[in-house]
């Protein structure tokens, strides 16, 4: 194994490494496969972490359009990253940092800065060894202090931008003992028109991997159904791996069932035996069964929630969808999310909200859809519909109240209308001189002080909470006095910043400047999301009780009359 002076990293960092690559096409579910593997290893008693490699040239995901890359997930240290890191945090129940996301922009920027500083002592700076060394260093440092590190390589094998990473993995495997490294390749196994599972795409994908110098130890076939025994045997024969190293990852009702599916296939046991860790693992009878209990909870009913947003794409609001699932797990109901285009709400499309039990107005940026979000807030407030506003949704709730209750005509956010007569939402003071867009917002974990005897206190059961933020604008301090004696109160603050709002005499009306969806987990639902779901159930129960009482009274009156 090379020494630290040879390669510029400490070879003692980390322990076991699982590299997950994908073939045939993107979007197969490498991240869920990797996260599920980690969940099972964690159940077996090991400390597990993960790294996501994104080969794009962006330094981070912060400036990306959700249509391009799904939601921007925010870590506790303020890192703006790919949504797959959200899956890792939820599946592994860990808090990750920016160091767990490697991008081409981040890597090249670091190497170029070192070259400009003269750190390479006049050497010609090249992809090999300087870029590949930096990639390996980042992986090992992220793995420090854990038993297993799972590294997902974004994109598809064969993509030109991913080549430096695959070369770094080839070197990595050469430097590590064989029993410390495992390569998992996720591929597509489609059906032919006559219903046959076709292995040719997998064969070509593995051929591409092997041409780079990597040999998969495990192949996971994504298919509508489990792989047939003959399909597994064919993949094993043509890809030169044991048949028991080929696993199925079929379509399931919920991604949280994937760990259960691959556990039935024996993936965790195969990995443990490959690493020589089977004897150190907890016996199957002693492994935690909490995950299975949580995600297979029997549901007693269902509720419908409208998500009034500007992106017709579930991935754009991934963490919100997952947080509602977590709340549903907790109370035993299915939560059906209905996307409502915010653009249409401004034209009086209130009918789209008439049949739902609750309304969420999520975060976002830009003018498009803002008037529709304001209308959605107004509808929820006036019709006693349980409401949750997140970040921009919180701000639009302030704007709606200022306009329609306080009478501030034309009130708006200065982000949307610079010359608004009432900028009840204005830019953060520290943002005045900011020029660059990437990584310059108020980001990451910040503490909010919660007023006692409020809904916020009831939800968090504490006088403070720590949640993740991502915003440039906030409630304008000049308007604090106008809200002082109003039913709409700010029950959570951070110094001079308003962080939580709530409305008295309403079934559930709650808004947060922060993004509570980023810290929600199966078994540990986010308090605002759990509060929304419970508020809906309480309201529906009250309505049913009122209807029953009304019907009973009517029947009694009828009997007396006749």
Q: Is the pLDDT of residue 230 over 60?
A: yes
164-168 mean pLDDT = 96
Give the tens place of pLDDT for each residue, 345-391: 877 777 889 999 999 999 988 888 899 999 999 999 999 999 999 99
Q: Which residues contact 169 (CB under 8 A, 6 or more apart)?
A: 19, 151, 153, 183, 214
Q: Is the pLDDT of residue 129 over 80?
A: yes
Bigger pLDDT: 555 vs 476: 476
Q: Which residues contact 18 (CB under 8 A, 6 or more apart)?
A: 34, 37, 148, 149, 150, 151, 182, 183, 184, 271
Structure pTM?
A: 0.91
pLDDT value, residue 547: 54
Residue ranges of the binding site for ATP: 27-32, 84, 252
Residue ranges of the binding site: 26-32, 67, 84, 152, 159-161, 198-203, 234, 252, 364, 392-395, 415, 472
Maximum Cα interatomic distance, the chain, rounded to a whole number of Å = 104
- % pLDDT > 70, the chain: 92
Bigger pLDDT: 445 vs 312: 445
* Token representation of residue 183: 């390569």
Q: Is the pLDDT of residue 548 over 70?
A: no
Q: Is the pLDDT of residue 206 over 90?
A: yes
pLDDT value, residue 545: 55
Q: Is the pLDDT of residue 296 over 70?
A: yes
Residue ranges of the binding site for UTP: 26, 198-203, 234
Lowest mean pLDDT among 54-68, 106-120, 294-308: 54-68
pLDDT value, residue 235: 97
How deeply is 242 buried, as exposed, middle or buried, from its count of CB atoms within 10 A (0-12, 13-18, 19+)? exposed
Q: Is the pLDDT of residue 220 over 90?
A: yes
Q: Is the pLDDT of residue 9 over 60?
A: no
Q: Which helix (H) or strand (E) holds 285?
A: none
* Token representation of residue 161: 């931008």
pLDDT value, residue 182: 97
- Active-site residue flag, 412: no
Given this chain, do its domains 16-294 and 297-544 carry the same CATH topology? yes
Give the tens place of pLDDT for each residue, 425-460: 998 777 667 766 676 788 999 999 999 999 999 999
Q: Which of 391, 412, 465, 499 is catalytic?
A: 391
**Mean pLDDT for the chain overall:** 90
390-397 mean pLDDT = 97
How confident is residue 13, by pLDDT bands cut at 50, 70 and 90?
very low
pLDDT value, residue 544: 61
* Token representation of residue 514: 């922060």
Distance separating alpha carbons of residues 293 and 464, to the nearest angstrom: 30
CA dihedral of 358, 301, 291, 91, whole degrees rounded to 10 = -30
- Active-site residue flag, 517: yes
pLDDT value, residue 437: 64
Give the tens place of pLDDT for each residue, 41-89: 999 999 999 999 999 999 988 888 888 788 999 999 999 999 999 999 9
pLDDT value, residue 561: 36
Give the tens place of pLDDT for each residue, 491-532: 999 999 999 999 999 999 999 999 999 999 999 999 999 999
pLDDT value, residue 556: 39
Q: Which of 100, 130, 471, 515 is catalytic?
A: 515
How are strands ordered across the β-sheet holding 101-103? 101-103, 48-54, 148-153, 16-22, 181-188, 218-223, 246-250
Q: Which fold has domain 297-544?
A: Rossmann fold (3.40.50)
- Active-site residue flag, 257: no
How confident is residue 15, by pLDDT bands cut at 50, 70 and 90?
confident
Region at 439 (left for phi over 0; alpha for psi -120 to 50; beta for the rest): left
How deeply is 370 buried, as exposed, middle or buried, from its count of CB atoms within 10 A (0-12, 13-18, 19+)? buried
Residue ranges of the binding site for CTP: 26, 159-161, 198-203, 234
Reference 204, options 157, 269, 262, 151; nearest CA is 157
The dotted CATH code for 16-294 is 3.40.50.300
Bigger pLDDT: 2 vs 385: 385
Residue with token string 């390479």: 120
User: For residue 303, which phi and psi values (nearest 5 degrees)?
Assistant: -130, 160
Q: Where are the domains of the chain?
A: 16-294, 297-544
Distance separating alpha carbons of residues 382 and 384, to the nearest angstrom: 6
């Amino acid at each position: 194994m090379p020494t630290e002076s040879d390669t510029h990293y400490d070879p003692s960092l980390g322990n076991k490494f699982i590299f997950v690559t994908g073939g045939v096409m993107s979007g197969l579910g490498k991240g869920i496969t990797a996260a599920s593997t980690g969940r099972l290893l964690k159940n077996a008693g090991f400390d597990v972490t993960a790294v996501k490699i994104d080969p794009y040239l962006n330094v981070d995901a912060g400036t990306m359009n959700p249509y391009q890359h799904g939601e921007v997930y925010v870590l506790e240290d303020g890192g703006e990253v790919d949504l797959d890191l959200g899956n890792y945090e939820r599946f592994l129940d860990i808090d990750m940092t920016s160091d767990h996301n490697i991008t081409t922009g981040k890597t090249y920027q670091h190497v170029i800065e070192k070259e400009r500083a003269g750190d390479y002592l006049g050497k010609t700076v090249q992809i090999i060894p300087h870029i590949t060394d930096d990639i390996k260093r980042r992986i090992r440092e992220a793995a420090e202090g854990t038993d297993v590190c799972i590294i997902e390589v974004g994109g598809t094998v064969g993509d030109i931008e991913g080549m430096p990473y695959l070369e770094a993995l080839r070197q990595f495997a050469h430097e590590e003992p064989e029993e410390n490294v495992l390569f998992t390749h996720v591929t597509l196994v489609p059906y032919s028109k006559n219903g046959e599972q076709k292995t040719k795409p997998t064969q070509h994908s593995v051929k591409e991997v092997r041409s780079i110098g990597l040999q998969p130890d495990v192949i996971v076939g994504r298919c509508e159904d489990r792989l047939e025994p003959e399909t597994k045997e064919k993949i094993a024969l043509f890809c030169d791996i044991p048949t028991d190293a080929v696993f199925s990852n079929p379509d399931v009702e919920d991604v949280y069932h994937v760990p259960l599916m691959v556990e039935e296939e024996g993936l965790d046991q195969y990995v443990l035996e490959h690493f020589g860790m089977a004897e150190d693992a907890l016996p199957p009878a002693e492994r935690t069964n909490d995950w299975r209990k949580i995600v297979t909870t029997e549901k007693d009913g269902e509720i419908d929630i409208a998500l009034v947003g500007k992106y017709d794409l579930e991935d754009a609001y991934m963490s919100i969808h997952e947080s509602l699932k977590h709340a549903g797990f907790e109370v035993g109901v299915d939560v059906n999310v209905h996307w409502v285009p915010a653009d249409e709400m401004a034209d009086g499309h209130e009918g789209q909200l008439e049949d739902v039990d609750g309304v969420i107005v999520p975060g976002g940026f830009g003018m498009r859809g803002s008037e529709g979000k304001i209308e959605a807030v107004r509808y929820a407030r006036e019709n006693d519909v349980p409401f949750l506003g997140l970040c921009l949704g919180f701000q639009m709730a302030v704007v709606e109240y200022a306009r329609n209750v306080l009478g501030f005509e034309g009130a708006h956010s200065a982000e949307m209308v610079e010359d608004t007569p009432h900028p009840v939402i204005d830019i953060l003071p520290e943002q005045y001189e900011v020029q660059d867009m990437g990584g310059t917002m108020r980001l990451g974990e910040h503490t909010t002080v919660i007023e006692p005897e409020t809904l916020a206190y009831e939800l968090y059961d504490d006088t403070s909470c720590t949640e993740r933020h991502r915003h440039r604008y906030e409630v304008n301090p000049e308007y604090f006095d106008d809200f002082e004696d109003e039913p709409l109160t700010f029950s959570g603050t951070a110094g001079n910043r308003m962080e939580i709002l709530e409305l008295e005499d309403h079934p559930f009306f709650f808004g947060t400047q922060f993004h509570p969806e980023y810290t929600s987990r199966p078994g540990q639902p986010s308090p605002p999301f759990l509060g929304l779901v419970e508020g809906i159930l309480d309201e529906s129960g009250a309505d049913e009780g009122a209807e029953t009482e009304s019907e009973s009274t009517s029947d009694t009156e009828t009997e007396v009359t006749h």
